[in-house]
Amino acid sequence: MTNSAICMGLAAVFGLGAIALREPPRAYSAQAAENLICDLGTAASGRMLAICTGPSTIGDHDIVVTLFGTAPNRVDEVRISLDGITAPLQTIDLDARPVIDPETVGILYKDMNFDGQKDLAIMRDLSGENSGYYYFLYSPPSQRFERNSALEELPWPDFSTRRQRVFTYWISEHGRGRDEWQWRGGVLGLAGRTEWRIIGVDECVKLQTGFTENGPAQTQESACE
């Protein structure tokens, strides 16, 4: 599968519209709602694969995220800096193979823990068991992006700023479900679960369970909508 075909699939998943291409090669980060615009590396760029810039929540400076590694898309270093400031804010070593092509670069830059600060995620690899992202939450006290393993354990989390929730979706032999996750004191915990369970041939029940820090509360049952 070509990178363009992969990106078409991403567009369907994330609801992206058509992206106009420009020269030199440019791309958008994978979440169109909060764009980073990326310039892609060329043969003359050495180890620089892509450099992405956009508005940040760190002072009055744009953020600059530069991916280094081996062409076409093996990333071993992420360098984060602020536009107009020479010294890098942070350098992160990792092993990733994000999408990098003129349509999409596999970077998310948005508020993932709903504290008003945008956070960073780098796509790991679209194939196999390593699919998903590396997540780094910005910490104002340390002025660094700190890796978050709790988000990395979730299957393709969906962030809702309006509801202050992180959603994940799943399918089982009995039906399908949606989990709601909530940040409590900086810790991500399960807040609710909705399951649409198939019973018999054509009957469906909806099960809704709330969760507290002490575990599940009472489950409510109703007919599927």
Domain boundaries, the chain: 1-148, 154-225
Cβ pair 8, 15 in contact under 8 A = no
Of the listed ranges 15-19, 125-129, 221-225, the least confidently predicted one is 15-19
- CA dist 32 to 5, 17, 106, 116, 210, Å? 18, 8, 11, 19, 32
Q: Which two tokens stand for residue 46?
A: 């050495």
**Residue 105 bridge partners (DSSP):** 29, 100
Cis amide leading into 24 (omega within 30): yes
pLDDT tens digits, one per residue of 135-153: 999 999 999 999 999 999 9
- Contact (CB, 8 A) for 124 and 97: yes
The stretches of 35-178 forming alpha helices (DSSP H) are 149-152
The whole-number pLDDT of residue 10 equals: 38
pLDDT at 99 over 80: yes
Nearest Cα to 152, choosing from 178, 121, 113?
121
pLDDT at 40 over 50: yes
Single pTM value for the model? 0.82
Q: Rounded mean pLDDT of the chain?
A: 85
What tens digit of pLDDT does each residue of 187-205 get? 999 999 999 998 887 889 9
Instruction: Give the range among 10-14, 75-79, 96-100, 183-187 with minimum mean pLDDT.
Output: 10-14
β-pairing, 158-160 with 74-82?
unpaired
pLDDT tens digits for 163-185? 999 999 999 988 999 999 999 99
- Give, for 11, the enclosing helix (H) or strand (E): helix 3-14
Mean pLDDT to the nearest integer, 17-40: 62
What does the alpha-carbon distance between residue 96 and residue 217 come to, in Å, rounded to a whole number? Answer: 39
More confident: 10 or 198: 198
